[in-house]
Amino acid sequence: MSVLKVSNLSKTFGGIRAVTDVNLSIEKGEIIGLIGPNGAGKTTFFNLLTGIYNPTSGEVVYDLNRIISTRDLKPYKITHYGIARTFQNIRLFQNMSVLDNVLMGFHNGLKYGIASALFKLPSYYKTEKNTFEEACVLLDKFNLLDKKDEISKNLSYGDQRRLEIARALAAKPKLLLLDEPAAGMNPKETKELKELITWIREAFELTVIVIEHDMSLVMEICERIFVFDYGILIANGTPEEIQRDERVIKAYLGGEEQC
Ligand SMILES: Nc1ncnc2c1ncn2[C@@H]1O[C@H](COP(=O)(O)OP(=O)(O)OP(=O)(O)O)[C@@H](O)[C@H]1O
């Protein structure tokens, strides 16, 4: 079975049809791009995938160790199911250190109980030490270890975006949803981000869905691309197929011939 199967999914806000009758499925290990003009319904689709919105109709089913369907989807539960996401507007704990942000990401997976923490039993110290070491390894991979004690809001925009991904990975997800990870990045940072996403897919055995306006990122690292326009999934294919698709050229690229 697919990691994710979406059937006839729709969401309306009053008279606005943000997502209309979307059907798609995603296989384990894919990097999927989600593109479309502003207001096409991409973020609404992510919010439906993560239980922030209930669908007006249709269904979302995950196969991640266990089957999770629409009624199980609650924003506070998705980390436990193995789903992590980043946001269009960076949502770090701005006044906490870089290290503490990543430690927070590990929080859901910590194994010691309240008694261990309250009475500072050996299991508490062992778990804390292991978590600290794991966080440092993660930060090292993201080139953020030398900044671990800096306050997050003082990082460059590119570093903040990478920290948000590192924190998401600390929860040990199987599926990672990235909402415009390259937004605000310069070309050098975007190039590094492409390599980072490709690397984390392998290293963490992830399936990745990325919403992105940066066409170079989407075309270079995604195996398949879904194109939304006015809430409708108008195309689904490889980067080459998407670049040739007449509906995409017309609807998304305003009639231009190249992506
Ligand atoms: N909570 C909401 N209430 C009312 N309308 C909403 C809500 N969320 C989204 N919309 C509307 O749904 C449509 C799709 O918006 P959405 O943010 O999903 O698009 P998007 O493709 O992510 O756009 P962008 O690329 O600009 O982020 C838009 O018309 C938007 O105004």
Residue 47 pLDDT > 70: yes
Mean residue pLDDT across the chain: 89
Q: Which residue has the least CA distance to atom 10 on ligand 1?
A: 18
Which three-class secondary structure state does DSSP give residue 256?
Answer: coil
Does one domain contain both 6 and 67? yes
- pTM, full prediction: 0.88
Q: How many domains does the chain have?
A: 2
- In sequence order, what are the residues at sequence separation of 6 or more whose Cβ sits closer than 8 angstroms to the Cβ of residue 127? 110, 111, 112, 116
CA of 21 to the centre of ligand 1 (A): 16
Does one domain contain both 162 and 229? no
Does one domain contain both 183 and 258? yes
Tell me what pLDDT residue 257 has. 47
Greater pLDDT, 98 or 252: 98
Does one domain contain both 140 and 208? no
CATH number at residue 15: 3.40.50.300
Q: Which residue has the least CA distance to atom 8 on ligand 1?
A: 44
Does one domain contain both 98 and 76? no
Domain boundary among 171, 187, 212: 171
pLDDT tier, 13 (very low <50, low <70, confident <90, very high otherwise): very high
Phi-psi region at 61: left, alpha or beta (left = phi > 0; alpha = psi -120 to 50): beta
d(CA 203, CA 107): 21
Strands 31-35 and 16-26: unpaired
Ligand 1 pocket test: which of 42, 54, 177, 230 has the largest number of ligand atoms within 8 Å of its C-beta? 42
Domain boundary among 171, 192, 216: 171
pLDDT tens across 108-140, in order?
A: 655 656 665 555 666 666 666 678 888 999 999
CA of 231 to the centre of ligand 1 (A): 9
Range of the domain at 116: 91-171
CA of 123 to the centre of ligand 1 (A): 46
The answer to whether 12 and 18 are in contact (CB under 8 A) is yes
Domain boundary among 149, 171, 193: 171
Tell me what pLDDT residue 250 has. 85
Atom of ligand 1 nearest to the CA of 11: 12
